[in-house]
Amino acid sequence: MIQQADSTTLGHTGEAGLGKEVPRPVKHRRQPTPREVVGWLPENATPAQMDSAIQLHVKPSEIHWSQMPDTLHLPGHPRSKSVRDIGLPTYYKESFFMKDSLFHPELPGGRLGVSGDPIPYAIANDNFFASLLIGCFVLALVAFSQSRKFISRQAKNFFFVPHEHVTQIPETANEIRFQVFLVLQTYLLLALFFFFYSNAYVGEAFMLAPYPVIAIYTGIGFAYFLLKVFLYWFTGWVFFDRRNNVQWLKSFLFIVSMEGVALFPIVVLQAFFGVSMQTTVVYAIVLLVFVKMLTFYKTYIIFFRKKSSFLQNILYFCALEIIPMLALWGVVITINSYLKINF
């Protein structure tokens, strides 16, 4: 860098082509500024003439930086330490603005303006669950195409009175896997339905992300299914013969599988097309009542038709269908209250 000299004696410019001689200024004790030099020139001076006059009268000189130490510190306190000292403690280097993005231009400063309201979570905007529902639909179509005869045979045998001397056709491994897949799909759809119901009537503030919440609901539903299978098997083993017990377990597995198939359309409509929650609840209640009626009918046909024990069938139905269902609802509501953020 350069700085101005102290003083000089000024004369006229003597520039060729200027038109007239510039008046000789008075002797200054300091070097004139460029503005003062330009003021000596006539009004019709060109930029080139101004530049020549400035170069003639303004002589730059070398700047000599001060070698004195910095004394900007509080009176009565020792001189502050240099931040270049590698042994300096961290609290010497930190300040109120250390984490400010404006203090660090190499860091992103974030967005400007005021943030808007966040978009609430929706299954339709979730790629994972959207892919999961589409995958369930595709796999169900493939399974139906491969097991049409099995489904038609199960539906036909469901509404007819079983005969003792008729040979039962055993299920193949593919048919058993198909039914297990439909059972898993049923309780996944029930978990999604309860998730929709909880968001609509309880609140959307969960302590966990939607994935763990729906996984917990699905696990509870599948555990409920396994518990009911055990209760049905144990009760049939104690009170009924093995043939009727196996026949009822097959019918129960078919009922649960078809319940998931019937529940799939309303869940898809609720997730992707925004069907009202009231319509979804009414559909689910009607479906549940219809499934329980089929269950009541099938238990009577298998276990109590020969004994003409309608009252025993009611007791059997209440003990193994109604009470476990109410217990499941209470457990899910209790767990849901723990998963919710209570303000």
This prediction has a pTM of 0.62
Is residue 103 in some structural domain? no
Which residues make Cβ contacts (< 8 Å) with residue 253, sequence separation at least 6? 179, 183
Is residue 196, in this structure, part of any structural domain at all?
Answer: yes
Query: Of 17, 32, 62, which one is at a domain's C-terminal end?
Result: 62
Asked whether residue 304 falls in the same domain as residue 160, the answer is yes
Residues 143 and 49 grouped into a single domain: no
Average pLDDT over residues 92-111: 66
Mark which of 16, 38, 62 sits at the end of a domain. 62
User: What torsion do the CA atoms of 300, 302, 306, 309 make, to the nearest 10 degrees?
Assistant: -30
Is 50 exceeded by the pLDDT of residue 1? no
Q: Are residues 201 and 332 in the same domain?
A: yes
Q: Is residue 96 part of a domain?
A: no
Q: Does 184 share its domain with 323?
A: yes
Domain range spanning residue 175? Answer: 123-339
Statement: residue 322 has pLDDT above 80 = yes
Domain boundary among 62, 79, 95: 62
User: Residues 149, 7: one domain?
Assistant: no
32 domain residue, yes or no: yes
The larger pLDDT score, comparing residue 6 to residue 193, is at 193
Q: How far is CA 18 from CA 12, 22, 41, 138, in A?
A: 11, 9, 9, 93
What is the per-residue pLDDT for 289? 93
Confidence check: pLDDT of 342 > 70: no
Considering the domain architecture, whether residues 45 and 165 belong to the same structural domain is answered as no
137 and 44 in one domain? no
Same domain for 164 and 268, yes or no, is yes
Across 200-204, 238-242, 302-306, 337-341, which has the greatest mean pLDDT?
238-242
Q: What is the DSSP pairing of strand 2-4 with strand 60-62?
A: antiparallel
Q: What is the reported pLDDT for 11?
A: 45
Measured in whole angstroms, the distance separating CA 46 from the mean position of its chain's CA atoms is: 69
Q: How many domains does the chain have?
A: 2
Q: Is the same domain home to 151 and 53? A: no
Residue 98 has pLDDT above 80, yes or no: no
- Mean per-residue pLDDT for 87-104? 68
Tell me if 86 is assigned to some domain: no
Buried-state track 39-57, b at ≥16 Cβ within 10 A, e below 16: ebbeeebeeebeebbbeeb
pLDDT of residue 148 exceeding 70 = yes
How confident is the model at residue 225, as a pLDDT? Answer: 92
